[in-house]
Amino acid sequence: MRVDIELGINGSRSRFAVEPDERLVSTLRDRAGLTGTKQGCKIGECGACSVIMDGKLVPSCLVLSASADGADLLTVEGVAQDGNLSDLQQAFVAEGAIQCGYCTPGMLLAGEYLLSRYQRPDTAQIKEAIAGNLCRCTGYTKIVAAIRKTAKKRSLVKSSAQGR
Amino acid sequence: MKCTVVGKRVERKDARAKVTGETIYPSDRSREGMLWVVAVRAAHPHARILSIDTERAAAAAGVVRVLTARDVPGENAFGIQFHDMPVLCSDRVRYLGDVVALVGAESRRAARQAAALVAVDYQPLALLTDPEQALDPATPALHPGGNILHEVHFHKGNISVGFQKSAVIVERSYQLPMMDHAFLETEAGLSYFDENDVLCVESCGQYIYRDRKQIASVLGLAEEKIRVSAEMVGGAFGGKDDITVQIQLALMTYVTGRPAKMVASREESIVAHSKRHPASMWFKTGASKSGKLMAVEARFLSDTGAYASLGGPVLNLMAEHAAGPYLVPHVKVDGHVVYTNNGFSGAFRGFGCTQACVGIESQMDLMARALRRDPLAFRQANVLHQGDAAGLGYEMKTAVGAEPTIRAARAGKLYRQRRRIKKDRTHVSPSLAPFIRRGVGVASQMQGLGLGVGIEDQAEVEVVLGPGGAVRVKVGTTEIGQGAYTAYAQMTAERLGVPLEQVEIVGADTGTCPDSGATTASRTTYAVGNAILLAIAKLEQRRSAWAAQGTGRENLSARANFTVPTQDRQLGDGLPHLLYSYGTHVVLVEVNTLTGEISVEAVEAYLDGGRVVSPLGFEGQSEGGIAQGIGYTLFEEVLLDRGRFLNTNFDTYILPSSKDVPTAIHTVPIEVMEKSGPLGAKGISETCTVGVAPAILNALEDAIGIRFVRLPVRAEDVILAREESPHES
């Protein structure tokens, strides 16, 4: 018995017939073909499967697809606009925040989520924000730096816009 | 030599695709009509198999095929050094990761459900879980050759004379845990027959050509009929050096003719793949009153678990690095590596050096303390230089950067200002301040580069000059995250004088790339880099010959093969090395004596891997190596109870998170140029993690006066040790 659901993924809506116990990460990867969302532990510990669902960061391995019916999702594939990297993506590239890259999609979305809530997070806040996303390669240093630089850049843009 | 591309902070070649989610990893691959494959693994860590009944599983909905040992057409065994691991067990299982059947089904769900229906009748056998017991010849053998996989016995000088000449003698035993690589992407891959009837395996291995050879022998197929690729992989650290899913996939496709996909669950991954060897070590070391190292004696007992993997070479490297980067006249090392039913262990970043370094660098600190000497000055006074005799007696013939790393560390901020930094409590609340202790610790290390004497260590590459100045470099090594492809591209651009953007690295596919050897042993920048430069030299020769004849050619390609040089005399498999990388770590730890919590507050890493090709990659390796070292020292231990794994996912196997690794990491390149290296480069990917654990242990003693000799050191260990300590403060 399948459950029919509708998901808004990166701005476009699609329908899926999912198993009742199917997890969102599987729907995204196996049905929608969006393999940018990774799976590392399936118990919500590693954060590789993080997506933004209705404005909140969630581990998609712990979300039942059936319960996500109607939700709006942002996955890593939706971060760049028309082939242009977002400022956070650019910062990840420039700072060397990527090694094997398997944690990168989840890290990016955790970073985006943080920056959607705080204009100028300090290092402790950044570390807290990505504490649910494990990275085995980088030691996190350059990921923290990339998020911090992006926050700074965004708030400068904002304040200069306000000053005008 | 001045470089314009090498040494520049360029972005990784693969960063853009990775940041958009476009990069296809082994677990992302799929193909029309593919089967999902699930392995049925042993239900007992040691048992005789009386029968395997696949009937119910085979009849289950969606199941296409259930394979057992009878379906293996060729040799039912594989392994890097010895073919001792069964592909599919028929008579006996030796650890919980052993595979007795493979289920291929139309969906992953169907495959999983059917796997539970495979009925195996086991007769449990006596477990061997204590490595000491494995040394007893009366213990029933896990393998035909007995339970001792390998032993080493080295004696240089005269160890008793060494101790007679010592004013200070320190003796300690150390216990080191089994550690999981915890690559974020579990073992995964896809297999299929292509239109030319070639069996393709797109997977996650660290050496595609060796994988192909092993698949061929299991299937009884010619190697040319098999194509193995592993371009982008989600982390490995040595844990994907042994074959994981490759043979299982190939076998399913071979038998059914269908494409097949496998992705290990995390629980399965932690049970099934190799680990860092758990080891017990005993060290006795002595130094003269004037602070000269006189004697290092070490005994190792390493547990390789159920299968050999690289247990022998890992023990060899423990022995090779037992005396550290120091000049020691009298050295005696004895070691055994034994079989048990404790999972199995193999290659892991550091490869034996990690273990040995915990011992010797703890000893160095204890001796410095007993002699009332500055710990770095003590190391500096005893450090190896080029031309000196190494611990096992052979000459250090290539560039030795140990001393410069120590010198730089001594001049660094953390070490110079350690007394002030230790007292600093400005960052903690006044109520907590009385409970805070800080300490600074150091460790120096060396790490053999390449596979060592007696193991074929070659890299072949092809460089192709295309139209419009495009350059393609075909290499057989895998991009497992380390950033080597970017370093290859930089060296290519540097030597050819073309912009970096024009260089494309085509990687890790036996169908298109030559055999560049294994992606292991800190070897690829050095070995592949040298091969690239040789190929370019050939191209330029040809180009000038064409020019002399007045003819031009747009498409030109050259292959070159580089053999990693070794010492002349072999002391064991892969023993010793000719080339080493070096490093000194300085670590600041903070201990909350109320809760026992330990936090690493700052690390300075002074690393010599010759010329730095890719600074972002160099720093990234260092930072990640430090994080892994923190994990090894403070968090990680695969726990086994009677051969059964207790912590098989990240809720119980704890990895360092962003909050456990300091942002204050300062990596300083100490570039001692290696003449035989490509543009003076060697490698860095292991030495950057090796010294971290002992540096933390030394910092802990500096902070709270307690010498920890067992890893990992957890908060509860701090509390318990302080309760027992006479110096409790």
ipTM of the predicted assembly exceeds 0.90: yes
Contact B658 A29 (CB under 8 A): no
- pLDDT confidence bin for B150, thresholds 50/70/90: very high
Q: Is the pLDDT of residue B726 over 80?
A: no
Whether residue B678 is preceded by a cis peptide bond, meaning omega within 30 degrees of 0, is no
Residue with more model confidence, A112 or B729: A112
Contact B184 A76 (CB under 8 A): no
The stretch B331-353 carries a mean pLDDT of: 98
Q: What is the mean pLDDT of chain B?
A: 97
B199 phi/psi in degrees, rounded to 5: -80, 115
Q: Is the pLDDT of residue B672 over 60?
A: yes
Q: Is the pLDDT of residue B729 over 60?
A: no
Q: A79-98 pLDDT, tens per residue?
A: 999 999 999 999 999 999 99
Nearest to A140 among B27, B181, B661 (CB): B661
Q: Is the pLDDT of residue B589 over 60?
A: yes
Q: Is the pLDDT of residue B547 over 90?
A: no
Residue with more model confidence, B38 or B552: B38
- pLDDT confidence bin for B553, thresholds 50/70/90: low
The predicted structure's pLDDT at residue A163: 59
Contact B620 A103 (CB under 8 A): no
The stretch A16-32 carries a mean pLDDT of: 97
Domains with residue ranges and CATH for chain B = 15-23+458-563 (3.30.365.10), 31-125+187-263 (3.90.1170.50), 279-452+572-724 (3.30.365.10)
Residue B37, amino acid? V
The stretch B177-189 carries a mean pLDDT of: 98
What residues does CATH 3.10.20.30 cover in chain A?
3-78
- Find the radius of gyration of the CA atoms of chain B: 26
Put simply, whether the predicted model's pTM sits higher than 0.95 gets the answer yes
Q: Is the pLDDT of residue B188 over 80?
A: yes
> Of all residues in chain B, what percent carry a pLDDT higher than 70?
99
For residue A104, the chain B residues in CB contact (below 8 A) are 18-19
The predicted structure's pLDDT at residue B2: 86
For residue A102, the chain B residues in CB contact (below 8 A) are 25, 183-185, 234-235, 481
The predicted structure's pLDDT at residue A161: 72
Burial label for A111, CB within 10 Å (0-12, 13-18, 19+), is: buried
Task: Tell me if residue B607 falls in helix, strand or coil.
Answer: strand
Residue B377, amino acid? A
How many whole angstroms from its chain centre is CA B690? 10
Which of the residue ranges B117-131, B220-234, B541-555, B619-633 would you say has the lowest mean pLDDT?
Answer: B541-555
The stretch B576-592 carries a mean pLDDT of: 98
Contact B184 A102 (CB under 8 A): yes
For residue A42, the chain B residues in CB contact (below 8 A) are 265-266, 649
Beta bridge pairs of residue B436: B592
The predicted structure's pLDDT at residue B549: 81
CA distances to B470, B514, B540, B685 from B556, rounded to whole Å, are: 11, 17, 10, 33
What residues does CATH 1.10.150.120 cover in chain A?
87-159
- pLDDT confidence bin for B552, thresholds 50/70/90: low
Which residue from B291, B290, B219, B234 is spatially nearest to B264, judged by alpha carbons? B234
With CA atoms as reference, the chain A residue closest to B630 would be A139
- pLDDT confidence bin for B394, thresholds 50/70/90: very high
Interface of A with B in 33-52 (CB under 8 A): 34-43, 45-46, 48
Q: Choose the mutation target among B9, B16, B19 for the interface with A, i.e. most A CBs under 10 Å.
A: B19
- pLDDT confidence bin for B727, thresholds 50/70/90: low
Contact B19 A101 (CB under 8 A): yes
Q: Is the pLDDT of residue B596 over 60?
A: yes
The predicted structure's pLDDT at residue B410: 98
Name the CATH superfamily housing domain A3-78.
Beta-grasp domain (3.10.20.30)
For residue B628, the chain A residues in CB contact (below 8 A) are 136
Q: A96-145 pLDDT, tens per residue?
A: 999 999 999 999 999 999 999 998 999 999 999 999 999 999 999 999 99
Nearest to A127 among B109, B237, B659 (CB): B659
The alpha carbon torsion through A16, A20, A24, A25 (nearest 10 deg) reads -100
The stretch B469-484 carries a mean pLDDT of: 96
Burial label for B196, CB within 10 Å (0-12, 13-18, 19+), is: exposed
Contact A103 B184 (CB under 8 A): yes
**Number of inter-chain CB pairs under 8 A, A vs B:** 180
Contact A77 B21 (CB under 8 A): yes
Helix B375-382 vs helix B353-370: angle between axes, to the nearest 10 degrees? 110
The predicted structure's pLDDT at residue B175: 98
The stretch B262-266 carries a mean pLDDT of: 98
Interface of A with B in 59-88 (CB under 8 A): 75-77, 79-80, 85
> What phi-psi label fits residue B220: left (phi over 0), alpha (psi between -120 and 50 degrees) or beta?
left
The CATH fold assigned to A87-159 is DNA polymerase; domain 1 (1.10.150)
- Helix H or strand E encompassing B268: helix B266-272
Q: Which residues contact B9 (CB under 8 A, 6 or more apart)?
A: A96, B615, B616
Residue whose pair of structure tokens reads 């314009």 in the numeric block: B4
**DSSP line for B468-506:** GG-EEEEE-S-BSSS-HHHHHHHHHHHHHT--GGGEEEE
The predicted structure's pLDDT at residue A156: 82
With CA atoms as reference, the chain B residue closest to A101 would be B18
B324, two tokens: 């550290």
